[in-house]
Chains A and B, each alone.
Chain A
Amino acid sequence: MTPTISAAPRGALAGIRVIDFGQMVSAPYCAKLFSDYGADVIKVELPEGDAARAAGPFPRDVPHPEKSGLYFFHNTNKRGITCDVAHPEGRRLFLRLLERSDVLIENNLPQRMRAWGLDYATLAEINPDLVVISITPFGQTGPYSGWNGYDLNAFHLSGASSRYCGRPGETPLEHGTFAADYFGAVTAAAWGLAAVYGRELAGGGQQVDVSCAEAIAAAFVGGQNIGCYAQEGRFDKRTGVGMPLGAPATILPCRDGHVWMLALEPGQWNGLRKVMDDPDWASLEMFQDMYSRAQNADVIYGFIREWTMQHGKMEIMEKCQAAGCPVTAVFTIAEAAAQPHLQAREYFVDMEHPQLGRLKNLGAPFKLPACPGGPERPAPLLGQHNAEVYRELLDLSAADVRRLAQCNVI
């Protein structure tokens, strides 16, 4: 049977209306995944705006609420309105919006949602079909659910840093980005979209409670470690090298930066030897398998480093890859941005923002050939779509909207 093809090209999530009541990274990025793939996402901000508007990065480091890079990135393809949910009339408007929506995505601490009278029980009563996606550092239940917390606290509560990142005895490290927020965001997007897709089977909407710490503790750290600890009572910690049990498997410096040096299997090791012009030391008995190489890590990393320091990262990567060895350049952000590969795949998109001007953005995170996604419209200015959205969804007149603005409700 030939499927019916709809007239206009529409995004994969067309027909789903989302209220994004998030700030900073986790909920806004989750909602961006919905908006960039075609859902109608309305970003609701308190009158003071999303905290990301104050978090930068800003052009020339000059703070400006309409020039935050963080806000720009995470709020593409959304319409933006303001609403003071702490004001009784604002709360009523917010609940009326939720009556007409499929999904709420939010990342406020649970006590804050309760204080606003926006706890899940209240929302489910207003709209039983609403899927409420809550993304918080610790989750809606459990002893830490009342704690204050941010991305940093969630990441380090997951076991990931103690186990996998940093030198022994020194400070455990996060990734240099909002790693817990992003992990929570994609987790929430997958579980939340399933709850929307299967709403009839599930018997209505539901609350999707994502703890960023828990998602990482389970799916990253727990998967590879918890069975061992439960059975044998022992566990490992960070070592500061890439892979302590096999070598070479670590980041090494080279002439113009760093490379991820990996040559574990015999074919890979032989490839690396060839690229290095088969130096004498490489035929030593202690370097003949990945385990004995790891036992002599200091020696072998010293030898390999002597070679890498004489070569550039791209040359090392290209020669090693051609020789069957999975060595990659450690790209800086600027180098990552200049990759012909990503340009050939049209990963980068130029966008125009009323305050930031023209700038290069990252495009869709994955390609759906039948219904391409990705950012097209820039993040909204604060309250940019107040008149349009309040009229279209709640049937408010221009005069109503003016009055609400005068009373600081919107």
Chain B
Amino acid sequence: MANQLPLKGVRVVNFGWVWAGPVVGQTLGFLGAEVLKIESAARVDMTRNLPPFADGIPGPDRSLSNHACWAGNGSVSLNLKEPEALELALRLIATADVVVENFGPGVMERLGLGYERLREVKEDIILFSMPAAGLYGPLEHVRTYGLSLTSLTGLDSLVGYKGGEPVPVENAFSDPYAGIFGAFAVLAALNHRRNTGIGQHVDFSQQEAVMQMVAPAWMDYALNGRSGGPKSNEHPTAAAAPHGVFPCRGDDRWISIAVCRDEEWQGLVAAMDNPDWAATPAFATLPARVAAIDQLHEHIAQWTHEFDDRELAARLQEHGVAAAPVLNVGDLLHDPHYCARDTFVEVTHPLGFRETIYGAYVKTSRTRPDIRPGPVVGQDNERVFRTLLGIPEAEYERLKRDRIIY
């Protein structure tokens, strides 16, 4: 059958919680996998209770951010403290290709869901684990928030104003990053299983995956022994100038401008109507501009601050200069580019309300996913337990009554 989503037929059981683990499921789900998140009303994920809620009414099935970040996942409810629930989880895993989890090391074993146990029910299962610092090593039990995990990679030491102290990034960039990256790791393991018939337990250390982002600074350390520090928005390897964010007219309006090549510099100078300062030898070559970057940026900021950010970006682009407005959250929803690409979509939740989440942020030419909001707790119970596992109706009702399926 042509034009199916590429991962159709792959089943993923997802024990992931909060953000990174659910994003692994989301990525595979957007690509066609059937993803079943295991959760329970006995211990509701904290992100289900993050405001704001749909129509302002609190409830674990009404958190707007949860619906966006968990879209693509289905949901099966099992209270894993109950031995019968554990057995049901294992029966479900026996039908699955991949199990995903982002607990600390050892938690799956304590739940009775360690890799060896999973292999007993499904020999070629792929278990994907993504603890903060990996499954073993002196820091295996390190406590971090997604927010601060990056401090262990060196990345946080590079963020801030030039010459100043590190400025914290105020949310866990590493969570969706590691979540999407994790989906690649799962796919690599699936490909290996297809080639060899062998499953495996993937050890995905978020620290190690995210640390690759410091490569430019890492290489300066490896080659020159230097340990970089904050330098505002300057080019990571000092290979471009100007390279920064400059003020525009209005409250908190800015434009980003990056000049890597001489033609772009000439375009910028022309767009500025050939000011005298730009004609001096101090700015004639890229190495000269890099050496005089503070002075260069001051000149440009004096020029940009009178302009509207979008008008200036359009004008600079006409001159071949890489420039774009700095958007705030309010700008995103109505930005013509994101509108044209359906980056954000309004959807109807099964409970009846309309809400806005993000859609397929990658455009694939052959098949496009159907994006629905993150799941209602237990929305796939009936199909999974009755149809897939063949549990008779009376037994199913008992399991619900006894808060096994819960």
Among A138, A162, A198, A259, which residue has the most Cβ atoms of chain B within 10 A? Answer: A198
Among A137, A163, A373, which residue has the most Cβ atoms of chain B within 10 A? Answer: A163
Given A61-B224, A144-B324, is A177 in contact with B214 using a C-beta cutoff of 8 Å? yes
The yes or no answer to B252 lying at the interface (CB within 8 A) is yes
Are B340 and A331 in contact (CB-based, < 8 A)? no
> By the criterion of a CB under 8 Å from any partner CB, how many residues of chain A are at the interface?
169
A311-329 Cβ-contact flags toward B at 8 Å (1 or 0): 0000000000100111011
Determine the distance from Cα of A223 to Cα of B222 in the docked complex, in whole angstroms.
36
The yes or no answer to B380 lying at the interface (CB within 8 A) is no
Determine the distance from Cα of A186 to Cα of B258 in the docked complex, in whole angstroms.
23
Are A74 and B215 in contact (CB-based, < 8 A)? yes
One of A6-14, A83-91, A282-290, A295-303 contacting the partner: A6-14
Are B223 and A157 in contact (CB-based, < 8 A)? no
Determine the distance from Cα of A337 to Cα of B221 in the docked complex, in whole angstroms.
9
Are A367 and B217 in contact (CB-based, < 8 A)? no
11 A-B interface contacts by CB (under 8 A): A142-B336, A148-B321, A156-B233, A164-B171, A171-B254, A194-B6, A223-B65, A231-B52, A325-B143, A331-B152, A371-B200
Determine the distance from Cα of A25 to Cα of B237 in the docked complex, in whole angstroms.
12
The yes or no answer to A342 lying at the interface (CB within 8 A) is yes
Are A214 and B6 in contact (CB-based, < 8 A)? no
Among A143, A259, A363, which residue has the most Cβ atoms of chain B within 10 A? Answer: A143
Are B324 and A176 in contact (CB-based, < 8 A)? no
Partner of A149, one of B177, B204, B324, B361: B324
Question: Within the complex, what minimum Cβ distance (angstroms) separates B238 from chain A?
Answer: 7
Are A369 and B203 in contact (CB-based, < 8 A)? yes
Are B173 and A226 in contact (CB-based, < 8 A)? no
Determine the distance from Cα of A141 to Cα of B341 in the docked complex, in whole angstroms.
7
What are the residues of chain A within 8 A of B236 when measuring CB–CB?
176-178
Determine the distance from Cα of A227 to Cα of B237 in the docked complex, in whole angstroms.
37
What are the residues of chain B within 8 A of A243 when measuring CB–CB?
147, 170
What are the residues of chain B within 8 A of A154 when measuring CB–CB?
324
Are B336 and A226 in contact (CB-based, < 8 A)? no
Question: Within the complex, what minimum Cβ distance (angstroms) separates B18 from chain A?
Answer: 12
Determine the distance from Cα of A56 to Cα of B192 in the docked complex, in whole angstroms.
35
The yes or no answer to A404 lying at the interface (CB within 8 A) is no
The yes or no answer to B123 lying at the interface (CB within 8 A) is yes
A167-208 Cβ-contact flags toward B at 8 Å (1 or 0): 101111111111100110011111101110111011111111
Question: Within the complex, what minimum Cβ distance (angstroms) separates A348 from chain B?
Answer: 10
Determine the distance from Cα of A151 to Cα of B177 in the docked complex, in whole angstroms.
16
The yes or no answer to B201 lying at the interface (CB within 8 A) is yes
Chain B residues 225-248 with CB under 8 Å of chain A are 225, 227-233, 235-240, 243-245, 247
Determine the distance from Cα of A226 to Cα of B331 in the docked complex, in whole angstroms.
10
The yes or no answer to B8 lying at the interface (CB within 8 A) is yes
Are B171 and A224 in contact (CB-based, < 8 A)? yes
> By the criterion of a CB under 8 Å from any partner CB, how many residues of chain B are at the interface?
160
Determine the distance from Cα of A260 to Cα of B187 in the docked complex, in whole angstroms.
34
Are A197 and B191 in contact (CB-based, < 8 A)? yes
What are the residues of chain B within 8 A of A72 when measuring CB–CB?
219
The yes or no answer to B159 lying at the interface (CB within 8 A) is yes
The yes or no answer to A383 lying at the interface (CB within 8 A) is no
What are the residues of chain A within 8 A of B232 when measuring CB–CB?
171, 173
Question: Within the complex, what minimum Cβ distance (angstroms) separates B244 from chain A?
Answer: 8
The yes or no answer to B274 lying at the interface (CB within 8 A) is no
What are the residues of chain B within 8 A of A191 when measuring CB–CB?
27, 31, 362, 364
Are B52 and A370 in contact (CB-based, < 8 A)? no
Question: Within the complex, what minimum Cβ distance (angstroms) separates A297 from chain B?
Answer: 13
Are B173 and A220 in contact (CB-based, < 8 A)? yes
List 9 tightest A-B contacts by C-beta distance, closest first. Answer: A198-B6, A69-B219, A227-B64, A3-B197, A176-B158, A203-B2, A230-B356, A218-B358, A218-B361
Are A333 and B154 in contact (CB-based, < 8 A)? yes
Are B3 and A203 in contact (CB-based, < 8 A)? yes
One of A92-100, A233-241, A390-398 contacting the partner: A233-241
